[in-house]
Amino acid sequence: MHITFHENTRIFHLYNDDISYIMTIMRNGHLGQLYFGKHIKDKEDFSYLLETCERPMTSYLYENDRTFSLEHIRQEYPVFGTTDYRQSAVEIRQENGSRISDFTYRSHIITEGKPLLLGLPATYTEAPKEALTLTVTLEDDVTKVRAQLLYTIFAKGGIVARSVRLSNEGPRPVRLCRAMSLCLDLPDRDYVWQQLSGCWARECHIRSRALEPGILSIGSMRGNSSHEHNPFLVLKRPDTTERRGEAIGFSLIYSGNFRIQAEVDAHDTLRVLAGIDPETFEWKLDRSETFQTPEAIMVYTDSGLNHMSQTFHKLYQKRLARGYWRDKARPILNNNWEATYFDFTQDRLIEIASRAKECGVELFVLDDGWFGARSSDRAGLGDWKANKTRLPDGIAGLADRVEDLGLKFGLWFEPEMVNKDSDFYRQHPDWILSTPDRNQSHGRYQHVLDFSRKEVVDAIYEQMSAILRDAKISYIKWDMNRSITECYSSAWPADRQGEIYHRYILGVYDLYERLTREFPKVLFESCASGGGRFDPGMLYYAPQGWISDNSDAVERLKIQYGTSMCYPVSSMGTHVSVTPNHQVFRNTPLHTRANVACFGTFGYELDLNKLTQEENEEVKEQIAFMKKYRKVLQFGTFYRLMSPFEGNETAWMAVSEDQKTALVGWYRVLNCVNGRYTRLRLEGLNPSYYYRNSQSGVCCFGDELMYAGMITSDETAGQLPPDITPYTDFESRIYVLEVTEP
């Protein structure tokens, strides 16, 4: 791991064993992009990689020089309007109305480790030798606005973390209209764009397309990162697969409005931008004030998409998630929501929890409906005190009873929302986001509290912390069930209204930070009607999230497969629910529901008392299996083997760090008859280890399982014999491979 500055050629080279990132200070003082990709040997001069030439219909910076135009030069943090006509990374409006900036090099420093970003989630280091950070300071001579570009390269992996700190050192205020976290200009467009998109109940589906001239973008203007588009992008070469080939992953550590885009110009140069969505953002930067952009992560690999994902997984597991639960296997839980919805009593909850304990569950979670006048979704949000009619002993009393059963207790909150039918709203009707003289839209009969205001965040913190201090609570499910509309705050002046979306997210982060610091052993799980705010920003505070309200096992194949492109298995909330499923009304076998859910945090979203005795015995076996192997399932190296987006079968696997245990999940959606023989090529095994297959008892060396493949054929390859349990649609198996002696 090195960051080298060659003074004679004014070239920076950041590199480790995996990657090189090379840039230069150009003749106009701007930073030019020379190379980002596989590691290359360092030398003093790479300046020839910055190609220039005379082109028709081009504007040039210098008199009598028809070669130097920013329109055709790859840059690190480009501005608009001074010969570059592409979309810019930064745009600043001055008092005279001008939006022209000219950020030129002033200085740089190289430091060990990685700085924290004030008020924002970001990756971190625990030892100085884990990373090096280059901070390049640029300044605009007219406005005296200073831009500090931060580049962190980690010792291992093809990872570069980037963000920008903008400070006003001039005498007059300016307005940031655009402040992206990352710009990467690449020399060609020969990439396939892959995004994770969908909507409620079908989040993170993989969508692919070739890049063409023009702009392709994903983003959110909803106030949350959204079900529709995850803040993640992959650019892969056309021949790249899960196993081999070049890819670059881009991930934004942010939970609010964002944009990630790729612009291909007329000469096939590719510009990638990532950061806060500029359409919904404006920030007044007064004299001596500073604005910090969110952090963006770039991961390069030439070893395929699985390797790219594994790099993200390890980084986000170990250097984004924090605290007590970061490295711990997650407790197996039973959540009452789909078991009861709002229809429960204290005794009914204890009845559900008692059966859960008998089956081996470790954590019982009380979901929505425990507070205020909450008997439906029309009332009660904001009144975070127990409903004594339903819970005569309060939350503390219920928690004690659950603990007496031998279970831990968890609780649901939706702290950012309020119903108008609540004491909290009646006391503070001006504490919601709403625009004067305009309609107040609702979602799920609720309104969004103005978390840009410290007094609002303080009031919610006081209610939540009082409950957490009073009761034995081990887990919090933090929900958000609507996006922001009428984004206006009565507490801020007119010239600050463009800041509210971002200030709202800063308020959410502040509340998370205060609660996780005061209650460090509480396991927080983020949720936003499922995957509406499942993003890296949330992982900094909550090491796991509910990835979708859709708990159907078949639908979850696509959701979990797509989510794994960026996010580790340990971050994915996965539950077994009833059939017919409450979202798609599909009937799936109990073993398949568990076989999908075990590649995640694992739990049950049902009343186990309503299962048959035979089913309860099966649940006990599932829980025992999960307890035995959850460390491998949640923290092992994860490989995608067969895509649900490409066929009838899906497969993935997790391999222990020592490569002595592997668990392979295999899933078939529709049954067949007289089908083909099938086998599955595995990944990540030690070629010399001898593995025993728990399903078949067959023993094979790792090289055979990876290159010849593991047989997955069953009786559907032919005609089903009459004397076996018939296979059905939605079949699945978990193969356990463990090292044994030859």
- The two tokens of residue 123 are 């990756």
How far the first Cα of the chain sits from its last, in Å, is 41
Question: Which residues are CB-neighbours of 559 under 8 A, at least 6 positions away?
Answer: 198, 202, 203, 204, 205, 531, 547, 548, 550
**C-beta neighbour count of 114 within 10 angstroms:** 22
Residue 168 has what DSSP assignment?
E
Pick the closest to residue 30 from 61, 65, 75, 62 (CA basis): 75
Peptide bond into 238 cis (omega under 30): no
Which member of 277, 367, 368, 549 is catalytic? 549
Q: In sequence order, what are the beta bridge partners of 701?
A: 690
Q: Is 65 a catalytic residue?
A: no
Question: Which residues are CB-neighbours of 551 under 8 A, at least 6 positions away?
Answer: 338, 575, 576, 577, 581, 582, 583, 605
510 burial type by CB count under 10 A (0-12 exposed, 13-18 middle, 19+ buried):
middle
- The two tokens of residue 533 are 């705010």
Question: Which residues are CB-neighbours of 353 under 8 A, at least 6 positions away?
Answer: 334, 364, 402, 405, 407
SS3 at position 232: strand
Q: In sequence order, what are the beta bridge partners of 93?
A: 175
Q: Number of C-alpha atoms within 13 angstroms, CB side, residue 445? A: 12
- The two tokens of residue 44 are 């003093």
488 burial type by CB count under 10 A (0-12 exposed, 13-18 middle, 19+ buried):
middle
Which ranges of 644-742 does DSSP label H, i.e. alpha helix? 702-707
d(CA 427, CA 140): 48
| Torsion region of 360: left, alpha or beta (phi above 0 gives left; psi -120 to 50 gives alpha) | left
Alpha-carbon dihedral 719, 724, 725, 728, rounded to 10 degrees: -10
Helix 590-597 / helix 613-635 crossing angle, nearest 10 deg: 20
d(CA 259, CA 506): 18
Phi then psi for residue 337, to 5 deg, are -60, -60
- The two tokens of residue 465 are 């912390």
- The two tokens of residue 722 are 């009459």
Residue 87 has what DSSP assignment?
P
Which member of 84, 140, 277, 479 is catalytic? 479
Pick the closest to residue 523 from 456, 573, 596 (CA basis): 573
Q: Is 549 a catalytic residue?
A: yes
d(CA 150, CA 137): 9
The amino acid sitting at 498 is: G
Q: Give catalytic residues, as residue numbers.
A: 479, 549
